[in-house]
Amino acid sequence: MQFTDRDIHIVQGDSAGGTMRQLLGPLSVNMYAHRDVLSYGPLTSVDKLDHWEALRWAFWGMKGKPKPDDWLHRRLHADRDRLRGAERVFLWFGAELSQPILVGWLVAIFKQLGLDNGRFRLPDLSKLSYCGQPVPSIGLLKLEELDKIEEWQVLTAENLWAYEALWLAVTSESAQDLNKFCAPESTHTQALKQAVQAYMTRYPMVGDGLAAWDRLLLENCRVHGPSTVRVIAHTMSHDMPYPDSPGDFYLFDRLKRLGEGNLLHPLVRLTGDTSAIRFCETTLTAVGERVLNGDENAIALNGVDDWIGGVHLNSREGTLWLHDGGRLVPSDVETGCAKS
């Protein structure tokens, strides 16, 4: 593919950005990097960008992350004139869960800024794989692999509508909109449905009250603990049957949530320097063992206070949804079980 100085390139993260700079050379001045991971934490509409920014900064600030000095939406706003003159906008994204969500966010952002999103292009990665699986992120590919990408999908009006619908579903205050997106009668592509179904596994499961990744972390604590490095590494290497491959920061943060000191019944115990994976040890508690064995329910024990996109799961407010056989169902806060 031959690129010109009228093309815009958008990547997810600094790893992909570094490789792309090598690929594009002088044309990398037209590259933008997005550094937020939209599959984690609260989401809301971008109709009011100040509110959007405050919400995301409050979330990441609580996680100890520094405030970005180059929010992508601010850079796009500042460069609107250049973007209006762009011939094509290449979105260098893979299959990993956060990336179709990011496409939906960009569709909404361009619309909010009055920019034409009909120039979006997505790479055809079907001839490439990573460890035998669809490529989760461009940042995992080598320069010579990126150079082989020749085919690009032009996002038609129908494609753009589907990504916008995905964005509306994940930012909705009701989990029912995720169910509707994946319903059999829905006309969305199987790939987008799989992305949303992967997102739904971030919800606690019927039975034990654990989200899919939280349960896998506990299982690896039992088998590979107390080394937190080994626990995280084995969790990252697990092949989930859906396009979700969170990084070590997400998994370590979830692990720390399972052992927070303010929980009535922590499921793990973390010792050492809990600010760094390599200096921390993690052991499964007796309560965590019982939850894994199906003898206890994590939500009944500890309640829940978590954001998944636009939905706030909160025991005190009586709002709870559980993942049950590919659907999200309203649930009882006291027992952590699906309502009959």
Amino acid at 166: L
Dist. CA 205–CA 161, nearest whole Å: 30
How many other C-beta atoms lie within 10 A of the C-beta of residue 61?
Answer: 11
Check whether 136 has a pLDDT greater than 90. no
Q: What band does 68 get if pLDDT is binned at 50, 70 and 90? A: low
Q: Choose between 142 and 304: higher pLDDT.
A: 304
Cβ neighbourhood burial of 113 (10 Å; 0-12, 13-18, 19+): middle
- Identify the pLDDT of residue 41: 94
Check whether 173 has a pLDDT greater than 70. yes
Q: What is the mean pLDDT of residues 71-79?
A: 90
Q: What is the mean pLDDT of residues 101-115?
A: 94
The distance in angstroms from the start CA to the end CA of the chain is 55
- Identify the pLDDT of residue 67: 67
Check whether 334 has a pLDDT greater than 90. no
Residue-range domains of the chain with CATH: 7-171 (3.40.50), 212-338 (1.10.10)
Among the ranges 231-240, 285-294, 322-331, which has the highest mean pLDDT value? 285-294
CB 16 within 8 A of CB 143: no
Q: Choose between 135 and 24: higher pLDDT.
A: 24
Q: What is the mean pLDDT of residues 98-122?
A: 93
pTM: 0.92
Check whether 226 has a pLDDT greater than 90. yes
- Identify the pLDDT of residue 307: 95
Output the average pLDDT for the chain: 90
* Beta-carbon contacts of residue 168 (< 8 Å; ≥ 6 apart): 104, 177
Q: What band does 180 get if pLDDT is binned at 50, 70 and 90? A: very high
pLDDT digits (tens, 9 = 90+) for 279-313: 999 999 999 999 999 999 999 999 999 999 999 99
Q: What band does 137 get if pLDDT is binned at 50, 70 and 90? A: confident
pLDDT digits (tens, 9 = 90+) for 249-273: 999 999 999 999 899 999 999 999 9
Check whether 165 has a pLDDT greater than 90. yes
How many other C-beta atoms lie within 10 A of the C-beta of residue 307?
Answer: 16
pLDDT digits (tens, 9 = 90+) for 185-194: 999 999 899 9
What does DSSP assign to residue 114? T
Output phi, psi for 12, to 5 deg: -105, 110
